[in-house]
């Protein structure tokens, strides 16, 4: 499968995973890779990646054998199409399904409690904070334009089976809001880890693992 002049191919996991991305618009960052490393292995699990973008998280988790199968849920048609191409590029059509849909309407798309793992690299910024990107792909990915933190937590609650795992990245300075949102929806925080950048410097991002009680 070839990429166009407007696209690039990124190698992940020492070249074992190939990810096509547009040169403009949404592009995955290192936080997605860190989240894949943070997720603990659940080899028989069925997982879902909320806002899958180019599909990197669903692809890497499946390729590494951390889960048995994944669904990548994506709101934007262009990114859902790209994620499907990346799934095919990595030969994972039997294990990874890409589905278009809205995080806020998961009850119309999936049966309740049908997943063992929910992962998400959500938009970090609340509306009104920071500069909005002029491109819609980046705007939806970076700001809570199409879903909020609370929307994501409620979706995870609906999708997970009892004792299911919810793993995600977010801004460390929203920690109080994260804790309250999880508590409200009946999650128990199990692990929390700072994402550390080059030179051991904290990035301002955290990874959280919570269990549905």
Give per-residue pLDDT as tens, 71-105: 999 999 999 999 999 999 999 999 999 999 999 99
Task: Identify the pLDDT of residue 136.
Answer: 56
Q: Is 25 exposed, middle or buried (0-12, 13-18, 19+ CB in 10 A)?
A: middle
Pull the structure tokens for residue 19: 């990810």
pLDDT for residue 42: 97
In this predicted structure, what is the pLDDT of residue 24?
A: 72
pLDDT computed for residue 203 by the predictor: 77
- Kindly state the average pLDDT of the residues 191-212: 88
Query: What's the pLDDT band for 45 if we cut at 50, 70, 90?
Result: very high
The angle subtended at Cα 14 by Cα 86 and Cα 85, nearest 5°, is 5
Give the model's confidence band at 8: pLDDT under 50 very low, under 70 low, under 90 confident, else very high. Answer: confident
Helices (H), 48-131: 56-63, 77-89
Mean pLDDT score of the chain: 89
203/118 Cα distance (integer angstroms):
23
pLDDT for the residue 3: 54
Give the pLDDT of residue 22. Answer: 80
**What pLDDT, in 10s, does the model give residues 122-178?**
886 654 565 655 565 554 556 555 689 999 999 999 999 999 999 999 999 999 999
pLDDT at 6 (0 to 100) = 75
> How crowded is residue 64: how many other Cβ atoms within 10 Å of its Cβ?
15
Task: Return d(Cα 148, Cα 143) in angstroms, integer.
Answer: 9
Q: What is the CATH number of domain 28-212?
A: 3.40.50.150
Question: How many of the other CB atoms lie within 10 Å of CB of 153?
Answer: 25
The residue ranges of every structural domain in the chain are 28-212
Question: What's the pTM?
Answer: 0.89
């Amino acid at each position: 499968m070839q990429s166009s002049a407007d696209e690039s191919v990124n190698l992940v996991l020492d070249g074992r995973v190939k990810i096509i991305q547009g040169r403009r618009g949404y592009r995955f960052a290192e936080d997605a890779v860190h989240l894949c490393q943070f997720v603990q292995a659940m080899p028989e699990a069925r997982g879902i990646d909320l806002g899958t973008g180019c599909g990197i998280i669903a692809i890497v988790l499946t390729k590494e054998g951390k889960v048995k199968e994944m669904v990548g849920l994506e709101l934007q048609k262009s990114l859902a199409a790209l994620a499907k191409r990346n799934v095919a590029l990595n030969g994972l059509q039997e294990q990874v399904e890409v589905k278009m849909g809205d995080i806020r309407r998961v009850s119309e798309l999936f049966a309740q409690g049908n997943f063992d793992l929910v992962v998400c690299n959500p938009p970090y910024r609340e509306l009104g904070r920071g500069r909005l990107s002029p491109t819609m792909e980046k705007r939806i990915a970076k700001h809570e334009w199409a879903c909020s933190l609370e929307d994501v937590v409620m979706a995870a609650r609906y999708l997970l089976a009892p004792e299911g795992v919810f793993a995600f990245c977010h801004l460390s300075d929203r920690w109080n809001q994260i804790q309250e949102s999880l508590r409200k929806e009946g999650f128990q925080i199990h692990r929390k880890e700072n994402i550390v950048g080059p030179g051991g410097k904290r990035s301002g991002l955290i990874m959280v693992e919570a269990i549905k009680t």
